[in-house]
Structure 1
Amino acid sequence: MTRFPRLRLSLLTAALAGGLAVFPAGSSRAEGSFTPAQRQEIVAIVRNALKTDPTILADAITAMRAETEAQQQAKGLQAVRANRAKLAGSSGDIVLGNPKGSLSVVEFYDPRCPYCRKVLPDLDRLVSAEPDLRLVEKVVPVLGPASQMEAEAIAAAGLQGGYLKLQQALMSDSQPASVARIRALATATGLDADRLERDMKGPDVAAILHENMDLARQVGLEGTPTFLIGEKAIIPGAASFEDLKSEVDSLRKPS
């Protein structure tokens, strides 16, 4: 009876479950080279292994998930490097911290995302703790019409130099999104509400959001917030201050 090392047996288990066969690179064996009796024996080995140790399948799934995530990360980082200039920030973004800082972080966020709102204090804390940090925030409306409306408003506020003021007002507001509410908050923060409403549907705002969404797709964004840590890592989700600080510290180390 052929014996498989645990990892190989795990991969074989998952492969057979999916109707595939797994062989080492360069192997002369192919699925068609097994006789029906040999294939039946392999299936029996796998079934017996799963009965005696069900964690084998869980290990296989974990291993495949990790491999998939690593591939997605590599593909995303390739896109980050290819779009270095655009990710450095444009007139449609807000740059927090040191505009000339050497430690670069980019956040993709949705103004209606509760996790994006939750992480705001940690980002302020991170900027205060890292004098060489350059944090670029890119707004992406991914959660529906309300997000689209507020993203347009934030980008339009940037045309008046009021991006951060309206962003903070909207992301700390608990009222339903509406043009009337946006106008009220814009006026309260010293912005021209009439101009803001016009600009929200103008070509400049449309171009800003289109570019941000295109960049998000290229780096493989699956949700918000998502953080790009220089060109070293893509961190999805509302990472804690400690995790973000650790990732930023890693930018000081040579690749």
Structure 2
Amino acid sequence: MPSHRFLAPALFALALGIAPVTASAQSFSDSQRGEIEQIVKSYLLAHPEILEEVSTELSKRQAAAEALKHEATITENANAIFNSPHGVTLGNKNGDVTFVEFFDYNCGYCKHAMNDMLTLLKTDPKLKVVLKEFPVLGPGSVEAARVAVAARMQDPTGKKYLDFHQKLLGGRGQADKARALAVAKEVGFDMDRIEKDMNSPEVRATLEENFKLAEGMGMNGTPSYVIGKQVIVGAVGLENLKEKINTARCGKASC
């Protein structure tokens, strides 16, 4: 094993003016400090690969810290994340794993990710799926989300909502109020009630809750997921989602 793995910490400590434990009382003059800094610089130029090692280790530690933060946030808000009456629940309502997706009707990646969700819904009978509107891509997205929440309010089974969801998210063009209302009408919702419910406290409470949860978990894009105690941001693909579900189910990527 190359010796630089062991020398580097001591050199960095000296460069920062931090003496080793065995010489904690030692101090350095300006000239000594300059010589040490030059030694460190020369060492790093001769062994630049150590910077990659440091960067990799830092990334690992940051990821671990972020994972712990996510676990704490999920535990604290578990009921709102997995069982909120404001969410749309599909699949096995008593499933052993809950798959939560935050999405935007104008998100191109969400359109592709929808097929992943539908495949999981069809192929995993133990999976509970929860959909949460997270309109982050402008006024049109907010309007479409308000129509979607109003549609959910008159469809407790989620079956008509899922039809609406697929047609709106899978369709072409910008999603906004007009297009969302057209899809709701096509699916067969009570349009007078949709128009009324769009401005209800329930719609406002739903979107406020979803934004609060997403912010608390550091979600900065769509689609984003919560599976078990894991937060996943981005369209990671079907196989990755299956691995996350298995990890939540049995503690490993393949059950």
SS of the residue corresponding to residue 201 of structure 1 reads coil
SS of the residue corresponding to residue 251 of structure 1 reads helix
- Could you report, residue by residue, the CA deviation over 1:23-59 in whole angstroms, capped at 9, with x for unpaired residues? 99x99859x9444334323322332133223333233
2:183 matched to 1:185?
yes
Describe the shift of the 1:241–1:254 C-alpha distance in structure 2 as closer, same or farther (beyond 3 A): closer
SS of the residue corresponding to residue 86 of structure 2 reads coil
Equivalent residue for 1:251? Answer: 248
Contact 1:11–1:60 (8 Å) recurs in 2 = no
Equivalent residue for 1:112? Answer: 106
Number of matched pairs: 245
Describe the shift of the 1:90–1:46 C-alpha distance in structure 2 as closer, same or farther (beyond 3 A): same
- Could you report, residue by residue, the CA deviation over 1:191-225 in whole angstroms, capped at 9, with x for unpaired residues? 12332233222211000010111111111212211
2:84 matched to 1:84?
no
Q: Which runs of 5+ in 2 are unaligned?
A: none
User: Percentage identity across aligned positions?
Assistant: 35
Equivalent residue for 2:144? Answer: 150
Equivalent residue for 2:209? Answer: 211
Equivalent residue for 1:172? Answer: 170
CA distance in 2, matches of 1:11, 1:105: 48
CA distance in 1, matches of 2:163, 2:17: 57
Describe the shift of the 1:55–1:21 C-alpha distance in structure 2 as closer, same or farther (beyond 3 A): farther
Q: Which runs of 5+ in 1 are unaligned?
A: none
SS of the residue corresponding to residue 223 of structure 1 reads coil
- Could you report, residue by residue, the CA deviation over 1:67-115 in whole angstroms, capped at 9, with x for unpaired residues? 2222122111100001111112323211222110111222222221111
Equivalent residue for 1:225? Answer: 223
CA distance in 2, matches of 1:128, 1:48: 60
How far apart are 1:12 and its partner, in Å?
4.4
CA distance in 2, matches of 1:110, 1:23: 54
2:133 matched to 1:136?
no
Contact 1:110–1:143 (8 Å) recurs in 2 = yes
Contact 2:106–2:174 (8 Å) recurs in 1 = no
Describe the shift of the 1:243–1:254 C-alpha distance in structure 2 as closer, same or farther (beyond 3 A): closer
- Could you report, residue by residue, the CA deviation over 1:224-250 in whole angstroms, capped at 9, with x for unpaired residues? 11221212x222211221111112112
Aligned to 2:57, which of 56, 63, 82? 63
CA distance in 2, matches of 1:184, 1:5: 64
How far apart are 1:140 and its partner, in Å?
0.9
